[in-house]
Structure 1
Amino acid sequence: MTHILDELQWRGAVAQTTAEAELREALANGPITVYCGFDPTAPSLHFGNLVQLIQLRRLQRAGHRVIALVGGSTGLIGDPRPSSERVLKTKDQTAEWVDKIRSQVRPFLDFEGENPARVVNNLDWTSQISALDFLRDVGKYFRVNAMMKKDAVAARLNSEEGISYTEFSYQILQALDYLHLYREYGCTLQTGGSDQWGNLIAGADLIRSVEGKSVHVLTSPLLTDASGQKYGKSEGNAIWLDATMTSPYAFYQYFLNVEDSEVIKLLKFMTDRTPEEIAELEKAVAEAPFRREAQRTLAADVTTLVHGEAATAGAVAASEALFGKGDVSALDASTLRDAAQELPGADVAEGTSLTDAVVAVGIADSRNAARRLIGDGGVSLNNVKMNDAEYALTAEDFLHGEVAILKRGRKFQAAARRAG
């Protein structure tokens, strides 16, 4: 696969394009300049943003010039959701999140050498435009009837809540970004998720109206699991790229638990594995799914991309200690803390009997059941099998002075967090 578009299509990273033949020719004759926008809707980027960063990363590696736009102005407005109006953030909070996202973008792209990436903030040019100039010079190119057909806008118009003019104008602001980057940097390709198609096309249409030039749009499909749920959601919580919001261990576990039916799709999309490597992993899924070789490869590759090799090594060690034959006492305090946060559990005081601790953390539902389970050799403490139901937990049992890991059999484990 010598053409970048062929690679992206093989990886399942292309949902829609404008004039594919022309885009293919432009990429082949490049380099061209491409951008993707990231709004500061939270203090961290998330799984969906990672998909777009990987897209930019591949395009840069193919020799194209890439721009990551952080939405200091669009973040103040908010892309309309189909369900309800966004709560507007303060200017100070938005500026703080812009700085965090700007720093998060940098590790994924190359900012050195002959083809350095750029990070720009659309507040730098939007803040210089008066409301009258915006309406006269930009707004006149947009037709309300066309704007109303955008999926999110149409959904809101048909709801009881409706849509504010603030959010309704979002697509004009995003279109203005494309026009500015076209003029300033010769940008001729915008990428994004397929749910952003309407906003992306608005920018291409604006450039055609104002400059009389054709530019391109490329979207990637929204990644969903076998049930249709968007990837990146874990029990209602986003999978964040900030290690303080989603720990490297939780991040690793998320990808380790991907279904067999979905793992090859994610390996193609999220990693740099070659077609030959993917074929071998696909064979492993078919012939020995219980080994979860493909999932371990996916989890390690993506965790390393986001958090680095050291964090991945810690996550792997924690996973082996909790679910395999690894030594849980050998985990460093930070990794153990992250892993314990993902387990059910309870606060347990030093001196508590093993029986009471087993009940407290939910391994058994009564003291009699706990005694039987311990007597049958079904309980381990920090991966050491226990058979004394009256054993009292000592300070040494709480690893790093914080937590003791109780396990029933090989699969069910819980965290006894030191009380007080």
Structure 2
Amino acid sequence: MTKSIIVEGISKKFRIHHEKERKGENRGLLGNLFGRSRSENGDSDEDFWALRDISFDVAQGERLAIVGRNGAGKSTLLKILSRVMSPTEGQIRICGRLSSLLEVGTGFHPDLTGRENVYLNGALLGMSRAEVRQKFDAIVDFAEIERFLDTPVKRYSSGMYVRLAFAVSAFLEPDIIVLDEVLSVGDARFQQKSYAKMRELASQGRTVLFVSHSMNAVKDLCESAILIENGRIKEKTRVDDAIGDYMRHAMHVHGANMPLETEHIDLLAVHVTQSGVKNPNYNFEGDKPVDIELIYSVKETLQNFRIGFYIKTVFGEMLTRALLADRAPDKETVGPGTYSVKASIPSDFLVAGDYVVEVHGSQFGVCDFFGSNVLQPFRIARPPLFNAQHDREQTHGHIYLDPHWNQKRISD
């Protein structure tokens, strides 16, 4: 398979300067955590590695997302790939013409008009004026800025900027297009039009690299993803798996700790198990039930009490809920004591992918005890009874439907 990008051992180091603490100020205290070289005046410098030993390949026509938290190193990597900055170590090989859109207005001269900037960007990409003229009408039509074409771009809104910049990048026939979060500036209609254009480019054999904190956008556009943590690649895998790992990690970092104490009820434990066994990674088989147990302590008699859980996608979409009071109204009144309630997600119910148990506890019409404070992500594997050719099942929904098919021949 032809490679568009080959990255071998890329690392990037920055020097961060810290001033010595003076006049009671606390400057430089963080430096005690790092090894430093000290200058004569007592100031210090710190080596910060934004990227460490990054290696991966991108195939021609691949739509690749780069996923990670703020500060993980995503934008630094794209700047190196776009040759905006050089790596401290390692090398990259780019096979073809690369067009990058790293921020609104990249490559535009603010005093030039939209028309002039189209031709300028074409020249920077190595295209002749005749080649740019051939694409010019399509660029203007896509960007929807014909009325302002001869206005200096410094007077454009951010939305106009990004529409024209994307259109230039997409229509001047690059072999590789690199985008860093810029489409978030556009409205929903333009975003969908842009994603469709990028899919079209990939179908023509062009390569797309995409960075966004919108996991829905990443899933909609890309087929594979690199997950970066602390400047290192954690994995390169299918986009669904990378998003699931990213979201699961974020929830573990920011999720609630047990026990959770409130004025009227304490949540003591949440157990998510399969066949009586707790999987430390919360990875479960799809053809077996997943059991959920909630242990809680009630401090006083409560009326209209509800306890249970929601099942959501990692994007926050609610699939279903299960509350004890829905099936047992007599349990809406509860006295002081410690309780355990158990329920199961049936086997062959959830499509293979990543989900979240969100614990719910409330006094109906009075207050929420837990709300969205208790989240437990988990992963479901594909049940073996399903057709193995369904490689990316979760793109087709989240719930398996068993409509009891009955096929019979009604004529020869």
Name the one with the larger helix percent. Answer: 1
TM-score by length of 1: 0.26
> Of the two, which has the highest radius of gyration?
2
TM-score by length of 2: 0.26
